[in-house]
Amino acid sequence: MAGQGEPAPPVILAAKRISKAFGEVPVLFSIDFDIRPGEVHAIIGENGAGKSTLIKILSGLEQPSSGHVELDGQPIELPPDGQAGKLGIVVIHQELNLAEHLTVADSIFLGRELKQGPFLKLRQMRDEAARILDTLHVHIDPEARISTLSVADKQMVEIAKAISRDARILIMDEPTAVLSAAETKTFFEQVDRLKAKGVAIIFISHKLDEVMRLADRVTVLRDGQLIATVGTEALTPDSIAQMMVGRELSNLYPPKHEADVDADTVLAVRNLSAPGVRDVSFALRRGEILGFAGLIGSGRTAVAEAIVGLSPIESGEILHEGKPVRFSDVSQSVAAGIAYMTKDRKGKGLLLSANLKDNLTLLTLKRHYKGPFLDDKSETEALERAVRRFDIRARDPAVKVGQLSGGNQQKLMLGKMMEAEPEIIIIDEPTRGIDVGTKQQIYHIIAALASEGKSIIVISSEMQEVIGMAHRVVVMREGRIAGVLEGAEIAEAEIMRYAAGLKQGGANERLSA
Amino acid sequence: MSVSAHDRAKTRKGLAGFKFDLKTAGPLVALIVLCAIGFALNPAFASEGNIANILTRSAFIGIIAVGATFVITAGGIDLSVGSMAAFIAGMMILVMNAAVDTMGVSVWTVLLGCGCSVILGLGAGFINGFLTTKGKIEAFIVTLGTMGIYRSLITYFANGGTLSLDSSAREVYRPVYYESFLRIPIPVWVFIFVAIVGWVLMNRTAFGRYCMAIGSNEAVARYSAIKVDRIKTITYVLQGLCVSLATIIYVPRLGSASSATGVLWELEAIAAVIIGGTVLKGGFGRIGGTVVGALILTAIGNILNLTDIISNYLNGAVQGVIIVVAVYLQRGSFQRRRKAE
């Protein structure tokens, strides 16, 4: 693609006609890719397009089946197991790899500690860590334990670690997927700083606006093929999205059907207090999609977990179909027809080392008994149904769930929850870290469920999603409900005002109606 | 499309698929090789008497190891089984001796002892389970503690010596260890029964699936409506039941119990489980592998007894090498799979 004898700095890392197949299954077809110092190069594509495989090859975690990688113009076989760090290629994975019990300074110097003889130079490492954090303009105590930091701060520690290792090429897999809006802004500033220092940055993202904001060039992959590598100035979010899916993305969100204001209340929460939740009251009507917006950590997930019995309720009451209920574990809430789908699909949602079938039926295993034993056939049929209904794509149904793309994992998790046939569905971050095409599918599934009469709570940090889907929006802030929006009030600026604490009140009276 | 839980061979790489297959069949291959070596060194190895001997000896560890497979699959560990067996054996003897004094000798005396064994086994297992789940103490610590407690209790009740079963009661009880049914010794029948029930529980019931789910990710299990504490406690109770069954067939062998009874059984049981391919960190359990693992451990000792090449005193060393090699092989293919994610 680009990169033949331009005056710009020479290409630092390049992939030449890289192909990759896992067993019989090809995942990349003759991909060319290159990056220069001080450049930000985004790789985008739908789930399963081959993005992750490409960056694994660029960082040495996988070896290409054919083609080769060039570093500084020289063909090189990158050492496996992340040893490429010594060559200046540092990867920051989506799941940050930090030891929770170490301090920030320990983590930054992990594996290359400063020593005097056999002893650690603790003070020097601490000062040096503080200096690096300072150059990043982040305020993190170098002696704080990693476990006490927010996700955003942990990511900053990873970046500091990369800088302290003189990374020349920084590869990031969906760096902003777990960051709030404010944290994302700080992150952008870091990227700009690194860029100014001449670091080459490769990143994968599903957020087209941030690709437009950060990237100099964009490489679009689809089904393992290189579709295009284009300068960002020649692109619009729409044209990128079209290249990604290869079709017009007319309606990301399905049309909202009118909310029935007279529908009966299926779930009423009154003055609920629980860990991270203070005096929350709201009502959910039948067939309604109720959005929960707010900053990360504002208590939305905590409300959901308290309702379904995952965390203890301190005070307040929950009325299900008018009757007070209090669940002490998930089996009770599922039995009552209330299901919660976690946002942490890898940590809490799916068994990554088990196959699709075992994951799908885990929540409802008792339904697959024939006599005293589990019936493999009934489970297999359930999987076949779910694969059809939710369009789950796997090379082979026996594959481990950890090897599925994020979108397919998400659809499988949705399938697992729907196996329980719940009437009230709480979905936490329905589309985190998945591609536009799958997002659209999930939005249509949610809308279809609502029109079938299911009542749905959608918790999301993507404001567009809440705005595009919800009939009413509850905005939370610091464990409390800051406001409830309806109809024309549901707009980005208004939600932000409540979420940021600029506006509040009037909420509870309207809610408990 | 055809889905099969056992069709795990198709992993991302052809090579990894081959390794994984080898891993599944590995323990069985190792056992066959071991038997071939044994036969080559001394043809007496394959005599009916010797085979029956190996099977009977492996029954104790094997039965305990079937229980341990559940505990380990669910992410726990039970170090107390050896001491628990000694303690239960001692209590059985005390109860039966007391019964002989009051009601004379009959089958009922022995059944009373067996009932006492089962109750103690279930109770001891429940204590381990309750302390790990509700007490939220790590299983390693809890069972290290109970291991010490049971060991010192048997020493105390035996007054530092040996508790012996009344000789008339022993006459009634003797056949449980020494008799055969259809030419297969009674202890082997018990082992076969426990193994089959264990296999069905692990592979054909929700309980087994839940154990694997909890062992591989407790949070996922909790979010999937699984009563994690209850399932984990049941694994320890099952373990206790297995220990009590093993003790019931062990007591008539010597008719005595002392502080030296069941020493290091916990490590042999864990070794059998690991050699069999169950992952020590939990999440994946294989009952069939455990049975093979127990047979391998007993066969090693037996072969060393039958030949002079390696001193019998090195039995432990040979077993140790086998355990380390087995875990090394397991670890290799495990890491490859992890990386592929």
Between chains, do B10 and A398 touch, taking CB under 8 Å as contact? yes
Q: Specify whether the CB–CB gap between B194 and B242 falls below 8 A.
A: yes
Whether residue B9 lies inside any domain: the answer is: no
Nearest to A403 among B17, B283, B340 (CB): B340
Output the pLDDT for position B62: 96
A356: nearest CA partner in chain B: B3
B3: in domain: no
pLDDT attached to residue B21: 53
Interface check A506 vs B, CB under 8 A = no
**What's B303's domain CATH number?**
1.10.3470
CA–centroid distance for A105 within its chain: 27
Which domain range does residue B315 map to?
22-334
- Res B15: pLDDT: 42
What is the Cα–Cα distance from B164 to B176, expressed in whole angstroms? 17
The length of chain B, given as a count of residues? 341
pLDDT above 90: residue A3 = no
CA A136 to chain centre: 24
Instruction: Tell me the two tokens of residue A146.
Output: 């990693």
Which range has the worst mean pLDDT, A47-61, A280-294, A495-509, B221-235?
A495-509
Q: How confident is the model at residue B13 (pLDDT cuts 50, 70, 90)?
A: very low
Residue A165 and residue A87 in contact, taking contact as beta carbons nearer than 8 Å: no
Question: Is-contact A220 A243, C-beta < 8 A?
Answer: yes
Tell me what percent of the residues of chain A surpass a pLDDT of 70: 93
Task: Kindly tell me if the per-residue pLDDT of A189 is higher than 90.
Answer: no
With H, G, I as helix, E, B as strand and everything else as coil, classify residue A510: helix
Rounded to an integer, what distance in angstroms lies between the CA atom of residue A159 and that of residue A406? Answer: 24
The answer on pLDDT for A371 being more than 80 is yes
CB-CB under 8 Å, B220 with A348: yes
Query: What is the rounded CA–CA span in Å between residue B31 and residue B290?
Result: 12
d(CA B40, CA B28): 18
Q: What is the pLDDT of residues A450-474, one digit of tens each?
A: 999 999 999 998 888 888 899 999 9
CA distance A227 to A351: 33
**Contact flag B223-A352 (C-beta cutoff 8 Å):** no
pLDDT (tens digit per residue) in A325-352 = 999 999 999 999 999 999 988 889 999 9
Max avg pLDDT among A300-314, A491-505, B4-18: A300-314
pLDDT category at A489 given cuts 50, 70, 90 is: confident
Domains of chain A, each with CATH number or no CATH: 13-245 (3.40.50.300), 251-337+422-513 (3.40.50.300)
| Mean pLDDT of the A236-250 span | 71
How near does any CA of chain B get to the CA of A378, in Å? 11
Using only the alpha carbons of chain A, give its radius of gyration.
24
- For residues B137 and B130, the answer to whether their CB atoms sit within 8 Å is no
| pLDDT of res. B341 | 38
Tokens of A61: 């975690």
Residue B110 has pLDDT above 50, yes or no: yes
pLDDT on residue A93: 79
Cβ within 8 Å of B, A 61-120: 61, 81
Question: pLDDT tens digits, residue range B20-49?
Answer: 455 567 788 888 988 998 888 888 888 888
CA neighbor of A360 nearest in space, from A132, A368, B284? A368
Question: What pLDDT score was predicted for residue A2?
Answer: 43
Find the range with the poorest average confidence among A92-106, A357-371, A400-414, B94-108: A92-106
Over residues B172-191, mean pLDDT: 89
How many CB atoms neighbour CB A178 within 10 A?
23
pLDDT of residue B11: 37
% of chain B residues with pLDDT over 70: 89
Task: Output the pLDDT for position A208.
Answer: 79
- Number of domains present in the structure of chain B: 1
Tell me if B16 is assigned to some domain: no
Reported as a single tens digit per residue, the pLDDT across B50-87 is 999 999 999 999 999 999 999 999 999 999 999 999 99
pLDDT at A369 over 50: yes
Fill in the DSSP letter of residue A346.
Answer: I
Which chain B residue shows the shortest CA-CA distance from A385? B1
Distance between A446 CA and the closest CA of chain B, angstroms: 20
Report pLDDT for A47. 66
pLDDT at B8 over 50: no
Contact A398 B220 (CB under 8 A): no
Confidence bin at A249 (pLDDT 50/70/90): low
In chain B, the percentage of residues whose pLDDT exceeds 90 is 52
The more confident residue out of B271 and A206 is B271
Any domain includes B8? no
Q: What is the pLDDT of residue B339?
A: 42
* pLDDT at residue number A81: 65
Q: Which of residues 360-379 of A touch B (CB under 8 A)?
A: 362-363, 365-366, 369, 372-374, 376, 379
Bridge partners (DSSP) of residue A393 are none
Residue B134 lies in a domain: yes
Res A505: pLDDT: 61
Nearest residue of A to residue B15 by CA position?
Answer: A23
In a domain, B14, yes or no: no
A22 neighbourhood in chain B, CB within 8 Å: 12-13
A356 inside 8 A of chain B by CB: yes
Classify residue B11: in a domain, yes or no. no
For chain A, give the percent of residues with pLDDT over 90. 36
Q: What is the mean pLDDT of chain A?
A: 85
Q: Quote the mean pLDDT of chain B.
A: 86
A-B CB pairs within 8 A amount to 113
Write down the pLDDT at residue B331. 63
Residue B335 has pLDDT above 70, yes or no: no
Query: Is residue B58 assigned to a domain?
Result: yes
For the cut 90, the answer to whether the pLDDT of residue B332 exceeds it is no
Judge whether residue B188 has pLDDT over 50: yes
How confident is the model at residue B76, as a pLDDT? 94
pTM of the model: 0.76
Given a contact cutoff of 8 angstroms between Cβ atoms, the answer to whether B49 and B255 are in contact is no
Residues of A in contact with B10 (CB under 8 A): 23, 396, 398-399
Q: Would you say residue B19 has pLDDT above 70?
A: no
Give the model's pLDDT for residue A237: 75
Is A334–B225 a contact, with Cβ atoms under 8 angstroms apart? Answer: yes
Determine the Cα–Cα distance for residues A417 and A360; give it in Å rounded to an integer.
8
